[in-house]
Amino acid sequence: MKILVQSTGLDIVPGIITELKKHQPDWQYFAWPSDEQCDYVVGWKPPAALFARQPKLRAVINYGAGVDAILAMGAVPAHIPIIRLEDAGMAQQMAEYAIYGVIHHQRNMRIYRAQQRDKHWQQHEDRGNVRRPTVGVMGLGEMGGTVATRLAAFGYSVRGWSRSKHEIDDVLTFAGHDTLPSFLSGCDVLVSMLPLTESTRGLINATTLAYLPRGAFLVNAGRGGHLVDADVIAALESGQLGGALLDVFHEEPLPKDHPYWLHPNVIVTPHIAATTPIKDACAQIVAKVSAIERGEVVSGIVDPNVGY
Ligand code: NDP
Ligand code: OXD
């Protein structure tokens, strides 16, 4: 078996090859660019030139959960399936990220950070009436499903929204665009874990933000393209949004002159909500390729028509 490993923009190829070898020392590994004819490519944003030089590929393993970038490049020939990573150690990180955002908002941490800068001592907790926000999770797949379950286990009221109906213990679930207004109207914190597709691009905009209770908090770890940034800034200015924790952006790195950087109610993180853990990812890649070679149907096959 010959595996080609490629990455655009990240220096991860040698590390992936080392880790894959530990799991499957009998296979051969090549770093792109290589004309050695390979059976599979493990890649992040593989260029069209790779497919032109590798006509024997049987599948592409996307080295990440999101496939918007690889689909947008349009480089993968239609007959080659794209298989994505599923969880692979990322869902727990996503849950931690979301819980951080929820607690930041619920426990007034923005106010206390500002007070500390002024050495100002003032309590803002409503002692007699500790209120736990209702958290709404958009996307109930590998990431969102785990986030919703962990938040519910932590004692929050949780609601979830997805394309098809999901049943999750202790989570009130909604399905389809028609249910979006009623889903959003109960979310004190909105956590987006959606994939970026034609149906979800620009979904968080002035209209949808207006359905949220006033002062709601937004956590976006899906993709920057879900937000209409001007509408998010306007909602922050008007108080419709009380704050936001944002990990993903239309343009990454976030341009230096973007208003999110200096907004007092926005926390910016550089696409770190969940990084791909190399050990889990490589174990999953070897398991998926081995299963395909045994003639089994693997999970995580992307439907390019739906976009995830
Ligand atoms: P999944 O494919 O497992 O889950 C996607 C979920 O979104 C599903 O529940 C799906 O519904 C739902 N969904 C898709 N389209 C719609 C729609 N139009 N309306 C309502 N619901 C919709 O993906 P993952 O959970 O693995 O990953 C989600 C995204 O998280 C990735 O695509 C990526 O963009 C982002 N990500 C970000 C990272 C970061 O560090 N910031 C790291 C990893 C991922 P249904 O269940 O009905 O199919
Ligand atoms: C991913 C990501 O999609 O890192 O895996 O965003």
Q: Minimal CA–CA distance to 247: which of 266, 225, 221? A: 221
Q: 3-class DSSP state for residue 236? A: helix
- Rounded to an integer, what distance in angstroms lies between the CA atom of residue 144 and that of residue 260? 24
Q: Is 271 a catalytic residue?
A: yes
What's the gap in Å between 172 CA and the centre of ligand 1? 18
117: pLDDT strictly greater than 90: yes
* Shortest-distance ligand to the CA of residue 276: 2
Q: Compute CA distances 70 → 137, 254, 279, whole Å.
A: 25, 20, 22
263: pLDDT strictly greater than 70: yes
Sequence-distant (6+) residues with CB within 8 A of 123 are: none
Task: Supply the pLDDT for residue 125.
Answer: 84
Task: Supply the pLDDT for residue 131.
Answer: 78
Query: Could you tell me what percent of the chain has a pLDDT over 90?
Result: 96
Print burial letters for 120-146: b (CB count within 10 Å at least 16), e (below 16). eeeeeeeeeeeeebbbbbbbbbbbbbb
* Shortest-distance ligand to the CA of residue 64: 2
Task: Supply the pLDDT for residue 137.
Answer: 99
Task: Supply the pLDDT for residue 10.
Answer: 81
Which amino acid is present at 177? H
Q: How confident is the model at residue 238 (pLDDT cuts 50, 70, 90)?
A: very high
Ligand 2 pocket test, pick from 93, 246, 276 with the greatest ligand atom count within 8 Å of Cβ, gives 276
In tens, the pLDDT along 168-218 reads 999 999 999 999 999 999 999 999 999 999 999 999 999 999 999 999 999
- Rounded to an integer, what distance in angstroms lies between the CA atom of residue 151 and that of residue 129? 20
Backbone angles phi, psi at 45, to 5 degrees: 55, 55
CB-count burial class (<10 Å; 0-12, 13-18, 19+) for 56: exposed
In tens, the pLDDT along 76-107 reads 999 999 999 999 999 999 999 999 999 999 99
Q: How confident is the model at residue 126 (pLDDT cuts 50, 70, 90)?
A: confident
Entry field: residues in the chain: 308
Task: Supply the pLDDT for residue 128.
Answer: 67
Query: Could you tell me what percent of the chain has a pLDDT over 70?
Result: 99
Show the DSSP H helices in 107-194 as ranges.
Answer: 109-117, 142-153, 180-184
- Rounded to an integer, what distance in angstroms lies between the CA atom of residue 243 and that of residue 31? 43
65 Cβ below 6 A of ligand 2: yes
Query: 57 is written with which tokens?
Result: 């590929």
Average pLDDT over residues 27-52: 97
Average pLDDT over residues 53-62: 97
What's the gap in Å between 50 CA and the centre of ligand 2? 21
Q: Which residue has the tokens 């619920």?
A: 106
